[in-house]
Amino acid sequence: MPADTALFEAERPALTALCYRMLGERAGAEDAVQDTWLRWERADHEAIENPSAWLRRTATRIAIDALRSARARRETYPGPWLPEPLVESESLGIEKRFELAQECELALLWAMERLSPTERAAFILREAFDAGYDEISAITGKSQAACRQMVSRAHRRLQENGPRFDAPPAEVADLLQRFIAAANALDHDAALSLFAPGAVAYTDGGKKARAALRPLIGPEDITQVLMAVMAKAAQATAQWSVEPSLANGAPAIVRRLDGRVDLVLTLAPSADGRIGWLYAMRNPDKLPG
């Protein structure tokens, strides 16, 4: 393998993780990394003093442009748009090319949607890749002082009315297990007690699977809809099962209908230890397999 190709391949996992964090989509991340490779292939390598920084700068700029285009599509998406999960379980294994990207929780990916593309890039570069403000400045075209302000502002916006990103896995797994037990038993009161007063549930079906076309807000709204869904599944002739898994490194539940993955469910706790944010992916285009 030529030295320049080997250098790029050594950087590919980090570039993939960066672009996935920017876009929240596997295919979009891979396309951005491929575009980075094409530019690297045409570049004058002898004139590049720091290849790693050059590749990261190029990939980030490509991802910023891709995110701006994606935002327009997401505005017309049928129902809530949710980031694509990276799912790992005994039966599904792990996507090696996205192994580094799995460190980014779905709740954080979703919350970053409220940032502008440039703010998102600055936040990701600083927090996930420990980039210096000089590098962030070169990538975004903003002064170092402005970049510091962007990162600080991003922190504040992500903490305002958002889910917890630091919940221990055991806490998430316990809430999931209790919720699934209540849902399977169709125990409305038990399920209701698990949600915080301001809880929000997002279900992404992409108009290809049954899902709510709006966010479900509050325990009553969430429980009523999800209990109806579970009751319908219990009456179906299809064989269904659930298995514990990881979605972006956090505990999750995978449901299968007739062996096919039909649902990925995970959550983030609220400050009082109840469910504050529920994520339900049903769009088959975003599910493993």
- Integer CA distances (angstroms), 156 to 115, 119, 121, 224, 272, in order: 11, 12, 16, 33, 20
pLDDT at 21: 98
Least confident interval from 46-55, 94-103, 120-129, 280-289: 94-103
Note the pLDDT tens digit of each residue in 128-187. 999 999 999 999 999 999 999 999 999 999 988 677 888 899 999 999 999 999 988 889
- Integer CA distances (angstroms), 71 to 86, 93, 125, in order: 21, 31, 20
Note the pLDDT tens digit of each residue in 58-104. 999 999 999 999 999 999 999 999 999 999 988 888 888 899 999 89
Note the pLDDT tens digit of each residue in 249-277. 999 999 998 889 999 999 999 989 999 99
Q: Take residue 255 and report the two structure tokens written for it.
A: 């449901």
Q: Take residue 63 and report the two structure tokens written for it.
A: 């991802």
Residue 230 has pLDDT above 80, yes or no: no
Q: What angle do CA 199, 201, 203 make, to 5 degrees?
A: 175
Amino acid identity of residue 245, one-letter, is: S
pLDDT at 161: 64
Question: Which of 46, 52, 226, 220 has its CA nearest to residue 125?
Answer: 52
Long-range own/partner contacts, residues 164-171 (CB < 8 A, 24 or more apart): 164/107, 164/268, 164/269, 164/270, 164/271, 164/276, 165/105, 165/107, 165/108, 165/111, 165/268, 167/268, 167/269, 169/250, 169/251, 171/269, 171/273
pLDDT at 257: 86
pLDDT at 208: 93
User: For residues 27 and 76, what is the distance between their CA atoms, to the nearest angstrom?
Assistant: 19
Residue 238 has pLDDT above 80, yes or no: no
pLDDT at 172: 96
Residue 240 has pLDDT above 90, yes or no: no
Q: What are phi and psi of 269, to 5 degrees?
A: -70, 155
- Secondary structure string (H, E, C) spanning 90-105: CCCECCHHHCHHHHCC
> What single DSSP character describes residue 246?
E
Q: At a CB cut-off of 8 Å and minimum separation 6, what does 206 contact?
A: 77, 78, 79, 282, 283, 284, 285, 286
pLDDT at 236: 67
User: For residues 167 and 160, what is the distance between their CA atoms, to the nearest angstrom?
Assistant: 16
